[in-house]
Amino acid sequence: MTPAAFERPAPNAPPPRIAAIDVARGIAIVAMVIFHAAYDLSTFRVIATDVANSPGWRLFAGAIGGSFLTLVGVSLVLATRQGLDWPDFLRRLALVAGGAALVTLGTWLWMPDFFVFFGILHLIAVGSVIALQFLALPPVLTLAAAGLCFALPLLVALPALDQRWLLWTGLSQLPVDTADYYPVLPWFGFVLLGVALARIAVKQGWANRIAAFRADTRPWPILTWMGRRSLPIYLIHQPVLIALISAFVWMRPTAALPPTRADAETRPFVEACMRTCVSNGKAADDCQDACQCTADGLRRDGLWQQALSGQMSTPERTRVGEIARVCTQGE
């Protein structure tokens, strides 16, 4: 018997939803909320862990993003197995693109020096359009294209793309200061990976087993519910988390940890940087932002101690100059 999700739908009827895909997306949503809760607690200094720069947490965040993007490719194949429904595709694309625009506007208003100009929603919108070209290709070619997406940023860095409006490509040499950054390369590779895996699953009949999964018992229904509402949850969860943590810190100021040694080291650097910057005729507020941005960039790229000691290799000096240049341009 063919599972209902893979039976030919009635004319003009959208393909039935597959519970396993919704559950997988719901699990990714839960993981995302956990990461952002930890990130916000770290930002407000409620916990000592530096989540933004911790290798383990960064790996966790990358796995979450990769999971979402792979599911984009899988869902695109399953939604078009009876042909592309252009009105439905364009409606979904408009929702995602609209969500991406809201994220950009909201973060620009909230933190203009760190706003999201090409985050995961932006990539999902762009990637969904590009991935249409791969739906009819043999899966082996799609897998090869995915591998190329993953490899190119490791092999190629084009100075011609060192422009802020081209940072979405992923092939720039410039450091990027933004709250959420998913450039086309390498991250589009995960979308193609999902397309290839779904094509193989459908062709081999494995997808029938996936479609037969029933999410009727705990905890599957709540995960299914979350997976079907991933976009609104994505858009509202961070404002809710930030509001709750802000209220908690406001009501219990002692919950915030005292400044760390890193903070004590950063302050003299920023103050010295600001004196130089202001003496060159720049506004104090702009200098504060640029100098703090530079300090954060040096720490993020593991160049802090080298910059303080002045003992740097030529590539390290070049990188420090790039960080300072990007921070200055963002004034």
Is pLDDT larger for residue 275 or for residue 225?
225
User: Range with the lowest mean pLDDT among 20-24, 84-88, 272-276?
Assistant: 272-276
Q: For residues 211, 232, 97 and 17, what is the CA-based torsion angle, rounded to 10 degrees?
A: 10
Please identify, among 209, 229, 249, the residue that sits at the C-terminal boundary of a domain. Answer: 249
The long-range contacts involving 279-288, CB below 8 angstroms and separated by at least 24 positions, are: 282/331, 286/331, 287/331
Q: Are residues 231 and 303 in the same domain?
A: no
Instruction: Note whether residue 226 is domain-resident.
Output: yes
CA distance to 35, 240, 251, 325, per residue, from 40 (Å) = 9, 11, 17, 28
Q: Are residues 153 and 289 in the same domain?
A: no
Q: Are residues 198 and 314 in the same domain?
A: no
Q: Are residues 265 and 245 in the same domain?
A: no
Q: Residue 140's CB: how many other CB atoms inside 10 A?
A: 11
Instruction: Note whether residue 82 is domain-resident.
Output: yes
Q: Are residues 98 and 234 in the same domain?
A: yes
Q: Are residues 89 and 226 in the same domain?
A: yes
Identify the domain containing residue 309 by its residue range: 261-329
Where in the chain does DSSP place strands (E)?
Answer: none
Q: Are residues 58 and 152 in the same domain?
A: yes
pLDDT at 15: 61
Instruction: Note whether residue 304 is domain-resident.
Output: yes
Q: Are residues 79 and 122 in the same domain?
A: yes
Q: What is the mean pLDDT of residues 188-203?
A: 95
pLDDT at 311: 73
Instruction: Note whether residue 255 is domain-resident.
Output: no
Please identify, among 218, 249, 280, the residue that sits at the C-terminal boundary of a domain. Answer: 249
Instruction: Note whether residue 37 is domain-resident.
Output: yes
Inter-axis angle of helices 19-43 and 55-79, to 10 degrees?
A: 150
Q: Are residues 169 and 147 in the same domain?
A: yes
Q: Are residues 139 and 271 in the same domain?
A: no
Please identify, among 249, 271, 297, the residue that sits at the C-terminal boundary of a domain. Answer: 249
Instruction: Note whether residue 323 is domain-resident.
Output: yes
Instruction: Note whether residue 216 is domain-resident.
Output: yes
Q: Are residues 100 and 133 in the same domain?
A: yes
The rounded distance, in Å, linking the Cα atoms of 98 and 52 is: 27
Q: What is the mean pLDDT of residues 112-120?
A: 90
Instruction: Note whether residue 256 is domain-resident.
Output: no
Q: Are residues 243 and 268 in the same domain?
A: no
Domain count, the chain: 2
Share of the chain above pLDDT 70, in %: 89
pLDDT in tens, 1-49: 333 343 344 445 556 678 899 999 999 999 999 999 999 998 888 888 8
pLDDT for residue 310 is more than 80: no
